[in-house]
A and B are shown apart, each in its own frame.
Chain A
Amino acid sequence: MATDTLNSPGAARARAVRSSLRRRHLSEQIFRGFGILAIALALGFVVLLFVDVFRKGIPAFVQSNLHLSVTFDPEIIDVSPAPARNGFATEAEFTAASLAWQREVALLNWNQVIEASLRQAAPAGTDIDSRTLLSIAETNARHQVREMFVANPTLLGQTVEIDVLASANAANWIKGNINRELGDAQQQLAAPARALIDTFVDNGTISNGFAWSIFTNVDSRSAPAAAGLLGAFAGTMWMMLIVIVLAVPIGVAAAIYLEEFAPKSRLTDLIEVNINNLAAVPSIVFGLLGAAVFINWFHLPISAPIVGGLVLTLMTLPTIIIATRGALMGVSPALRQAALGMGASRTQMVFHHVLPVTFPSILTATILGVAHALGETAPLLLIGMKAFVASVPATPLDQATALPVQIFLWQGNENRNFFEPRTAAAIMVLLAVMILLNGVAIFLRSRLEKRA
């Protein structure tokens, strides 16, 4: 009977189970809902970050070029002829004469050459003073033509077509980074310059191109439109090299020793606790340590990638040690026993069996640690790497800055209209390097795991 079944003790239990089931399903659904919400929020923020950075940064990869016919007018370029090698007895004399000639060339007012070509490009009858006219072209244009002349003195009297950079202010005006409705007092460029820029854009004298200068130039304050990341990138690469060369072998070796060889004692416990604590030390403290130890005691140069690299090494070591130990701890005891049971020594067990199976995880952890160091800014500020450096460091002992510090410096630049996009562009470059590193980590890991 149906009623009998329902009223039987078994049915009552089934009802109780069913109602508790409903509660359990509900709590599971609530938990899932929170999980999805959390993921959606996290993803949302990441997307927001990327969209914002890209929206701001992409325009910075476009630069405005001025196509000019530059005439190397002998009246402006009034210098003695360039010395020829065969006119001198020794190489030293020739070098001295060349340098003297280059000094002479450098003293010329090359702005006049630029001004003349700008005036020539402007429509006939344009009334504009030379200062205003020159504000259209970036200040490095004069170095550009001077270097052309030094490289090739036969250009004297000739006219060549070249591209020079439009000034940062001109670029702001062209890209609309500055409100065109603002009054003269608030504009960075005088009215005639603004009018001429518009004419140049219309008649094709100014055109846009990809801003290779971001990748090929070093930082610049006098010519902001020409400011690039090359110096910072090189500084970062030097530091990464130092971190990889020092932190990876030391960290992995320390982890292997602690995990596989060190006797468990109070001392090793203490070391373990301290390593864990070191991983949590604020990075700026490592900067202070670097300044005190490497610069004050060892007298390593200030602002140099060697010091930055050493500081980042110290900072990355605990991360690598902890991650490597975690990977070693995860190796199944069966594998260790198998090796030891075969008569392998402890070292053979570690190097023949344990390390090969943990290699992918160690590699991933290492790359992630290095990537973390790559983005580190605070300690570098304390060892002087925030100095303005307009050169590519040829050695780790040269002054340099780093990508994240360059971002920090550009972020603080007074020409906000121009440097806001450029800062975002620098962030994009830094993110690209990081994504590349992480991509390499994922690729290597999946490849090595497949092989294992």
Chain B
Amino acid sequence: MDMLAGKVKVTSQTLGSNMNPTDFVDRPIRLTARDVTVHYGPKQALHGISIDIPDRAVTSFIGPSGCGKSTFLRCINRMNDTIEGAKVGGRIELDGQDIYAPDLDVVELRARIGMVFQKPNPFPKSIYENVAYGPKIHGIARNKADMDEIVISSLRKAGLFEEVKDRLNEPGTGLSGGQQQRLCIARAIAVGPEVILMDEPCSALDPIATAIIEELIDELRENYTIVIVTHSMQQAARVSQKTAFFHLGNLIEHGDTEDIFTNPVNKQTQDYIMGRIG
């Protein structure tokens, strides 16, 4: 697998294996951000981010630590709301609907925009209950049979079903790190979201587990709009079709992954990709 290779040499060959530019360029825009700012108390973390995120493609956010990529990701499903003292400005739209509108129910929003976190965080409950939790609270399954179907198909989509089918009632926390992360993906899928946000989903995983998740992301993009924050440029190159480079709370450059990696316009982007900053 190419992700096991050492220092990446970015060429179009190392980009997403099944990447075909015509596959996604014409995808409609799903998410629109305009002048998004975030303040944590007196400290400004984001300085006016504007970006369009296309439907059913993988968009990756890259940049050095503290550049604001995770902060921006968390704006998209309003997870920043849960942080004391965080203030979000600007406008983010999902299908033209302002997600910070006062009459928007954040619970409903999060059912439409799922999230996978950096560290696998399954609930301390059984594998089945982990996946069934979302459908249960959102009232998606009508009965037990419905629920079974949702759980199994979600686990299948997350590529986990075969590994856990005999122990659905065992605790999700007993799985390996990579399996836990796929369980978290299955859990997110179970609600039937349109967008899946992933905040460095592989940073706590070994290379093999990382490879499996990356393949999974590639499969999932056929049905979901995926936004992934990653520290690994190789990963961004491998899984995403669009890449956005963040630095010091600013969106420096964004565009097709291939262009960003092979032909960056901005000097800072170039430096980062060449490993000079970060």
Q: How far is the CB of A55 from chain B (nearest CB, A)?
A: 48
Distance, CA A339 to CA B79, complexed state (A): 11
Q: Which of A341, A348, A356, A357 contacts B137 (CB 8 A)?
A: A348
Q: How far is the CB of A312 from chain B (nearest CB, A)?
A: 34
| CB contact under 8 A between A343 and B84, given known A334-B119, A337-B117 | no
A contact residues around B138 at 8 Å (CB): 343
A contact residues around B187 at 8 Å (CB): 342
User: Are A343 and B117 in contact, CB atoms less than 8 angstroms apart?
Assistant: no
User: Are A342 and B79 in contact, CB atoms less than 8 angstroms apart?
Assistant: no
Q: How far is the CB of A448 from chain B (nearest CB, A)?
A: 12
Q: Name the residue of chain B whose CB is nearest to the CB of A452.
A: B124
A contact residues around B13 at 8 Å (CB): none
| CB contact under 8 A between A345 and B107, given known A334-B121, A337-B121, A338-B122 | yes
Q: List A367-383 residues whose CB lies under 8 Å from chain B.
A: none
Q: Residues 429-452 of chain A: 1 if any B CB is under 8 Å from the residue's CB, otherwise 0? A: 000000000000000000000001
Q: Residues 346-361 of chain A: 1 if any B CB is under 8 Å from the residue's CB, otherwise 0? A: 0010001100110000
A contact residues around B124 at 8 Å (CB): 335, 356-357, 452
Q: Which of A335, A343, A353 contacts B108 (CB 8 A)?
A: A343
Q: How far is the CB of A136 from chain B (nearest CB, A)?
A: 68
CB of B47 closer than 8 Å to a CB of A: no
Distance, CA A244 to CA B79, complexed state (A): 38
Distance, CA A382 to CA B253, complexed state (A): 75
CB of A175 closer than 8 Å to a CB of B: no
| CB contact under 8 A between A337 and B82, given known A342-B188, A343-B137 | yes
How many residues of chain A are within 8 Å of chain B by beta carbon? 20
B contact residues around A342 at 8 Å (CB): 110, 114, 133-134, 137, 187-188, 191
User: Are B82 and A343 in contact, CB atoms less than 8 angstroms apart?
Assistant: no
A contact residues around B111 at 8 Å (CB): 343
B contact residues around A336 at 8 Å (CB): 82
CB of A264 closer than 8 Å to a CB of B: yes
B contact residues around A338 at 8 Å (CB): 117, 121-123, 184
Distance, CA A348 to CA B134, complexed state (A): 11
Distance, CA A192 to CA B79, complexed state (A): 90
User: Are B134 and A343 in contact, CB atoms less than 8 angstroms apart?
Assistant: yes
Distance, CA A339 to CA B136, complexed state (A): 12
CB of B235 closer than 8 Å to a CB of A: no
| CB contact under 8 A between A341 and B114, given known A336-B82, A348-B137 | yes
Q: How far is the CB of B244 from chain A (nearest CB, A)?
A: 21
B contact residues around A356 at 8 Å (CB): 124
CB of A344 closer than 8 Å to a CB of B: yes
CB of A106 closer than 8 Å to a CB of B: no
Q: Name the residue of chain B whose CB is nearest to the CB of A344.
A: B137
CB of A340 closer than 8 Å to a CB of B: yes
Q: Residues 260-275 of chain B: 1 if any A CB is under 8 Å from the residue's CB, otherwise 0? A: 0000000000000000
| A interface residues, Cβ below 8 angstroms from B | 264, 332, 334-345, 348, 352-353, 356-357, 452
27 contacts between A and B (CB under 8 A): A264-B84, A334-B117, A335-B121, A335-B123, A336-B82, A337-B115, A337-B117, A338-B117, A338-B122, A338-B184, A339-B123, A341-B188, A342-B114, A342-B134, A342-B137, A342-B188, A343-B107, A343-B110, A343-B134, A343-B191, A344-B107, A344-B133, A344-B137, A348-B137, A352-B133, A356-B124, A452-B124
| B interface residues, Cβ below 8 angstroms from A | 77, 79, 82, 84, 107-111, 114-115, 117, 119, 121-124, 133-134, 137-138, 184, 187-188, 191
Given contacts A334-B121, A342-B188, 19 further A-B contacts (CB under 8 A): A264-B84, A332-B121, A334-B119, A336-B82, A337-B79, A338-B117, A338-B122, A338-B184, A339-B123, A340-B110, A341-B110, A341-B114, A341-B117, A342-B133, A342-B191, A343-B111, A343-B138, A348-B137, A452-B124
